[in-house]
Structure formats: C-alpha cells, structure tokens
Amino acid sequence: MVVTLLASPLAADPLPSWNAGETRSAIIAFVDAVTDPTSDDYVTPSDRIAVFDNDGTLWAEQPVYFQLYFALDQVKKMDASSLNSDALKAAAAGDIEALLATGKDGILEVLAVAHTGMSVADFKATVDEWLAEATHPTTGKPYTAMVYQPMLELLSYLRDEDFATYIVSGGGIDFIRVLSEDAYNIPVNQVIGSSLISEYVADGDSPALMKKPDLFFNDDKAGKPVAINHHIGKRPIFAGGNSDGDFQMLEWTTSGDGPAFGLYVHHTDAEREWAYDREGHIGVLNRGLEEGGNRGWYFADMAQDWAVIWPEE
C-alpha cells in the first residue's frame, strides 16, 4: 500500500534535455529492453556496464583539452629562471599556438612539469585547487561547468536502471578522478584513463606513490578495449564517445552476443558549443561517421538532439 502511494504510475522523463528524435527513442527503447525481465534482450543488472569517453563526450574539449590548460597554469607558477625552453616559455605566457609549434616534445615537456615528480596525492590536491579557481579562456566558466547536461541525464538514467557507469578516457586517470564524483557522480574506481608509471617509495617517513615521466598506458583507440578488460573484466553493453579514438571501444562493446548500444556525440553546434568532426587537432570523427551508421550506432547531433548543452541553461 505504501509502495503504491509512493510510486508514480508514469515515470518522469529520464532525458528532459534530449529533443524527441531517433537517437533519444533508441536509447530509451534499448534501456527498456535490457531491463525488462520478459524481454529476449534482458540483461542481468551486474552485466549492465556503460562506458563513456570524457573529453568531448561528457565535457567539452575545445580549443584544447582542459588538462593542457591545467599544465599551462602549473608552468605559469614556475620561477622565470626555470623556463629554459621555448615550450616552457610559451606555456608560461599562455601562448597555445607557440606551444603547439614546439611539437610533441615541447608539449610533453610542459605536461611533465605538471604531472611528474610529485606524489599522486599531491598531484590530486593541485588539480583540486586548480579546478576550484580556473576558468575556461573562451567561455569564462569553471571547467566543471562545461559538462554536457544531456549526458549527465543519460548517466543518471542508466544508473537508475542499475547500470554501472564508467569513464574510459584518453585523459589522465589521476586527473579525472579528482572531478568524477562531483561532476558526474562516478566513483573513482570507475574511472579508467591514461597513466604514467607510478612508483611506490617507502624510504621516508611515510610511503608515497610517486609519478614518474614514463607512460604506463595510453588509453586511446585500441587501448580502450584493453583497459576495459583490465579494469572491468566484462564487455560493456553501452558505449559513448565522440571521436575516432573511441571507435574501438564502440566496436568492442557492440560486437558481443547480446544487445548493445553505441553512441557518438557529434559536435555540430558552433553557436552553443563548437562544430567539428572530420578535421582538426582534437576529437577527429571520420571513420566513425563513415562506418557508424552501418554498424548500427546512433549519433547525438548536438544542434538537433540536445535542447540544452550546459547544466545551468
């Protein structure tokens, strides 16, 4: 009786920021099918695993990855006498163009300053401070305000239907873990990302995990299915991405025996966000556009499918 009084006969709209359309309908039909015990497509709750790219899928990534802004801001704190390379000087000046002109080695040098030589705990504290104060150069918003409201609703909808939601990002695992709980309601153990070697050092007063310069794992492209297996140990049934770096994750997810859903966020809205796909230095979506339709994947066309982009709208 109490249950009857509390339960609403019609569930509230789970995706209020999604416009009516093929993609929205397909998401809801998929979730209905895998959660309906009488459906042939029913999936037991412990196998309802959903994986999402972060940059360009859950939050914005233009004009450059936000983690690079973090690195620039750390270089800006350095003593001027330590800026002994063109890359460091460009970073300290906030001159992205000049930094990119120094090439991959220059970018890695800047990233190393911000990401190595300290403990994981100290790194996370630095990221936490930065997130609290830094603002995006174009929008002026805090970076954590540049998450996509429709994707927050999708994450929440999936969790309400007993999915476990994971981030599987080419960005840094230690970086994203600082914001995942507050920004996405995703616990840190459900964040998968790229990482540097870390070393356990116990020669001082208390042991620490120190961040070293060498790459441990590059969680991009074919690395994503590998990392999914390593961390989760099961094949997901829902994958969301926005670039060709996510292609293999969607491919792996939708190649299992049972039902599965592949979703590409397509950046089509130059007015409210950015419009880009086949070309550029970030978030290139080419093969995904070519093959996604034939593979049965759906596209969230930001201009068309999303009634709002940002949470505060």
For residues 78 and 128, what is the distance between their CA atoms, to the nearest angstrom?
Answer: 19
| Contact pick of 93, 188, 282, 289 for a copy of itself (by CB under 8 A) | 188
- Distance set, CA 256 to CA 47, 238, 249, 262 (Å): 12, 11, 12, 12
Any contact of residue 230 with a copy of itself (CB under 8 A)?
yes
Q: Which is nearer to a copy of itself, 140 or 233 (CB)?
A: 233
Least distance between a copy of itself and beta carbon 95 (Å): 34
| Contact pick of 252, 261, 264, 299 for a copy of itself (by CB under 8 A) | 252
For residues 36 and 242, what is the distance between their CA atoms, to the nearest angstrom?
Answer: 29
Instruction: Provide DSSP, 25-54.
Output: HHHHHHHHHHH-TTSTT---GGG-EEEE--
The angle, 0 to 180 degrees and rounded to 10, between the axes of the packed helices 120-133 and 66-76 is: 100
Any contact of residue 22 with a copy of itself (CB under 8 A)?
no
Any contact of residue 223 with a copy of itself (CB under 8 A)?
yes
Name the segment binding a copy of itself (CB under 8 A); options: 16-24, 134-142, 154-162, 191-199. 191-199
| CB distance 21 to 304 below 8 Å | yes
| Contact pick of 60, 110, 167, 173 for a copy of itself (by CB under 8 A) | 173
- 3-state class (DSSP) for residue 92: helix
For 197, phi then psi, to 5°, come to -60, 135
Least distance between a copy of itself and beta carbon 209 (Å): 5
Which residue ranges make up the site for a copy of itself (CB under 8 A)? 46, 120, 164, 173, 177, 187-189, 191, 195, 198-200, 202, 206-207, 209, 216, 222-223, 225-226, 229-234, 248, 251-252, 255
